[in-house]
């Protein structure tokens, strides 16, 4: 791609960095950076923040980051002015749209459980984006903090306490959480609870609906930026790539199971329809 061929003029080192223990993440990154790479590409805000702290002068390209300015990764969108640049998926901005889509599918709901790392800065930013939209839509938000390992238990608890819909804050198709996302989709479908996900992969796995960026396309755009850096461009002068295209996916099989009527207007906007 772009003239780079692995094994010929490109050495790609992609170790598995676990999210199960972020206390050890910087140690893993430090070991990687001892190999003096020409650039580092990271995924998610937390890994990008740790990499930036450890990378010294090594250029950094990040993907799957909500707001890189608020996260302290860059100073601005048009001119990052540092050693990092990358792709913003505008996760918090899109959360309000997820609520609107869920309301279209299930106009009778009143209480929605927002479940995930609400105790982390990115979780707090997500809730700040959700609250005003929820008020406008007449929704009561149940804010449920949960580690990934506790997610299904906390969702069950929220359902027992009157949650009529679920909005997970996790992006399950990243960093090994695919199976957990499938468990959440199955759990909510079993209890006939509408759930809106961030990614279409979870709708294909049985979730009702999703709205967000295409994760693979985010990575491709990040790879294009990485190529520029490897060719000598200053990451501080490469503007942040802000997502402008979003996918709406709907699973009609799940809708039938939940007795949810999908309006024609939603189907007309959908990028993916699982029949």
Distance CA 169, CA 29 (A): 25
Predicted confidence (pLDDT) per residue in 202-237, tens digit = 999 999 999 999 988 999 999 999 999 999 999 999
CATH of domain 22-90+214-242: 3.40.50.2300
CB 151 within 8 A of CB 118: no
- The secondary structure of residue 114, as a DSSP letter, is E
Q: What is the pLDDT of residue 19?
A: 47
Structure pTM? 0.87
Distance CA 262, CA 265 (A): 8
Domain-wise residue ranges, the chain:
22-90+214-242, 91-212+247-274
Q: Dihedrals φ, ψ of 57, to 5°?
A: -95, 5
Distance CA 132, CA 37 (A): 44
Predicted confidence (pLDDT) per residue in 43-68, tens digit = 888 889 888 988 888 999 999 999 99
Predicted confidence (pLDDT) per residue in 110-166, tens digit = 999 999 988 887 888 899 999 999 999 999 999 999 988 899 999 999 999 999 999
* Pairing state between β 247-251 and 209-212: antiparallel
With cut-offs at 50, 70 and 90, classify the pLDDT of residue 9: low
Domains 22-90+214-242 and 91-212+247-274 share a fold: yes
Both tokens assigned to 175 = 């960093």
pLDDT at residue 35 above 90? no
Instruction: Say which CATH class 91-212+247-274 falls into.
Output: alpha beta
Phi-psi sector, 141: left (phi>0), alpha (psi -120 to 50), beta:
beta
**CB hemisphere CA count around 159 (13 angstroms):** 19
pLDDT (mean) for 20-34: 66
């Amino acid at each position: 791609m772009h003239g780079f061929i692995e094994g010929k003029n490109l050495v790609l080192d992609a170790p598995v960095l676990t999210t199960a223990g972020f206390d050890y993440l910087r140690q893993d990154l430090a070991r990687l950076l001892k190999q003096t790479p020409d650039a580092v590409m990271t995924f998610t805000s937390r890994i990008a923040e740790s990499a930036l702290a450890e990378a010294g002068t090594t250029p950094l390209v990040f993907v799957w980051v909500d707001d890189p300015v608020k996260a302290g990764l860059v100073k601005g969108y048009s001119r990052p002015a540092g050693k990092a640049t990358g792709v913003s998926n505008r996760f918090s901005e899109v959360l309000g749209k997820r609520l609107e889509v869920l309301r279209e599918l299930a106009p009778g709901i009143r209480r929605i459980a927002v479940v995930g790392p609400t105790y982390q800065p990115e979780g707090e930013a997500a809730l700040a984006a959700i609250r005003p939209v929820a008020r406008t839509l007449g929704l009561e938000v149940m804010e449920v903090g949960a580690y990934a390992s506790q997610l299904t238990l906390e969702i069950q608890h929220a359902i027992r306490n009157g949650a009529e819909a679920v909005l997970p804050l996790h992006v399950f198709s990243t960093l090994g959480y695919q199976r957990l996302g499938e468990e959440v989709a199955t759990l909510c479908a079993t209890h006939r609870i509408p759930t809106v996900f961030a990614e279409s992969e979870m709708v294909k796995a049985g979730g009702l609906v999703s709205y967000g960026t295409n994760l693979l396309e985010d990575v491709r755009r990040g790879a294009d930026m990485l190529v520029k850096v490897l060719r000598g461009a200053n990451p501080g002068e490469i503007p942040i790539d802000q997502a402008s295209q979003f996918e709406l996916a709907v699973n009609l099989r799940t809708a039938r199971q939940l007795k949810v009527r999908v309006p024609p207007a939603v189907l007309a906007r959908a990028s993916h329809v699982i029949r």
